[in-house]
Amino acid sequence: MSNTEEEDDRPYSMAQVKSVVRRKIRKQPEHEEHFLNIYPMMDMMVILLVFLIMQFASSSASAIVESEELRIPYSTSEAQLDEALSVQISRNRIVVDGDEVLTLRSGRVDSSDKQGGGNGFLITPLYRKAQAVADLKKQIAQQNPSRPFRGEIQLIADERTPFRTLAEIIYSLGQCGFKDLRFVVRGTGS
């Protein structure tokens, strides 16, 4: 037998085993940790979200599509629209910021949707939605004092909407802090 065969048959000492393990570890490249810090990315996304919300809020009135249920009255006013909560009142429904809040019957609110029944003025589904929007706008105003909550509303109402329905809607919005109302109308040239 050769000398190398004799060495293979005998057991290794603990020092020799550790030496072999250390050599193997040294031959392996060190593992590099790569990670992505998501906190700046989250900040950027929040800023973009606020920017997009403000952009959509200011452009909501320009995207009004007239139909048989929503005919906007004419006016000769030259006032420009500012950023405000958009409330559309057609013959069949009330839409707040693109979300349908309530269905109407020939322009009238069903008594089951009003606090106090048929004689009540507070439209509860509209109140809940407007209060949620007001709370959100107030939180944004606290975070960004340059954009205070002014309680502005753009009412886009069908020209055949009954006065009682308009009064109920204005009252319900007023209970949430929306007090600056503007009616959106078409110019005589459009």
Q: Quick check: 103 pLDDT over 80? A: yes
Model pTM greater than 0.75? Answer: no
User: Confidence band (pLDDT; 50, 70, 90) for 128?
Assistant: very high
* Most distant CA atoms of the chain, gap in Å: 114
User: Confidence band (pLDDT; 50, 70, 90) for 1?
Assistant: very low
